[in-house]
Amino acid sequence: MDIFLFGLPAFLSLLAAITWIWTLYTKASNAKTVTVSPKKNSQGLQSNPNIKPLAAFNWETTEPQKFRPFKPIYYITMALRSTTPSELIIIDQNYQSRLRDRQVVMEKHKNHTLGCMPYGVEAVQEVYTYLLGEYLPTRYPTLFTRDEKSFRNSVTGATLPLLPPEDPITALRSLGQTVEDDMFFLRETPEGHQCIAFVCCCPSGFDPAAKIGKLLVDIHQPVPSYEKIGPSMERYFSRLEVGKGASRVNWSVTTNSELFNISTNHVHEGDKVEENMDIDIEKAWVRMELQTLTRMPKTRAILFSFKTYLYPVKDMKAEGLGPELADAIEGLKSGNAPGMWIYKGGVRWGKSVCEYLRS
């Protein structure tokens, strides 16, 4: 349309309006972008909304959790429950003594407690950075602090570098003397998930060093009826998302309180076994593992960690759980994995312990 049809005054007014609008647009385009910084806590750490701080936590007065997962018939299942990132590391009044024990075990059994393949170096360093640089100071600010270069443990007095050591064994040892959870690092391969690194001070009836480099199916080869859950485990591990962990509780009975035990807690095919032994009930314990699965965001490695709990069998009876535990022990013979009765050692201590629990 020809602009002269409007007349000159109208045209000048329109031109002025366009000029004014263009000026406003130019100012807006040239304005500086304001970035809102993420909130930081008292240590200068960026807040992670997925990790809930325990601001008034006192480890010395925090009793260990009590798990009582006993059922009259044993079924081998994954029995996983969803967890939050806050539940990754659990600390209680055993923390200091357990760390002392772990340092002794790692020094005495170096070849059995620490290991890493070339594939595992990056995953170990990622977990080291996450736990020392973010998780522990955020979750337990009364115990752990950090600055730009260092991580400090107020319970042990230890100071560790925030930058992960180039040597993965050094990094694993530092993790082993900072938390009491044992850790296995897994990567996915076309054949299945493979163990690529570990720090383990509380093995129960197996040698951790014998597991490195192996696939899940080979790691669990001695476990009766594992084939019933093996494929499901592989699929679950493959689907595990970052920020959505899972946990389960595993239990057994032992006739000693040794946390580091690579040989006597399980019975394998071909072992000579003394059946129906007369057990010293003072030395009988229910041993449980709180096992946790976590996907790391950078390497996509899976962290399989577990914290070991020991409860005297006498305490179970005192709680009124004697018959329930006895039924669960005898229930190892039935269900979908009857081989568990022998594998967990029930053939040795089962009769004596059950008689005590029902007396």
Chain CA centroid to CA 203, Å: 15
- Encode pLDDT of 245-283 as tens digits: 999 999 999 999 999 999 888 898 778 888 999 999 999
* Structural contact between residues 304 and 183, judged by C-beta atoms closer than 8 angstroms: yes
Tens digit of pLDDT for each residue in 150-165?
A: 999 999 999 999 999 9
Q: What is the pTM of this model?
A: 0.86
Instruction: Put the strands of the sheet holding 182-189 in their side by side order.
Output: 81-83, 245-254, 285-295, 302-312, 182-189, 192-199, 114-116
How many Cβ atoms are within 10 Å of 146's Cβ, its own excluded?
Answer: 20
Nearest partner of 131 among 308, 309, 305, 300, judged by Cα: 305
- pLDDT at position 265: 85
**Mean pLDDT, the chain, whole residue set:** 89
> How far from the centroid of its chain's Cα atoms is residue 194's Cα?
17
CB atoms within 10 A of CB 226: 17
Strand, coil or helix: what is 70? Answer: coil
Distances (CA, A) of 238 to 87, 189, 202: 21, 10, 27
Cα–chain-centroid distance for residue 211? 18
358, pLDDT greater than 70: yes
Task: From 170, 262, 258, 172, select the one nearest 211 (Cα to Cα).
Answer: 262
In the chain, where the domains are located? 76-358
d(CA 151, CA 132): 6
Q: In the predicted model, is pLDDT for residue 290 greater than 80?
A: yes
**pLDDT for 82-96, tens place per residue?**
999 999 999 999 999
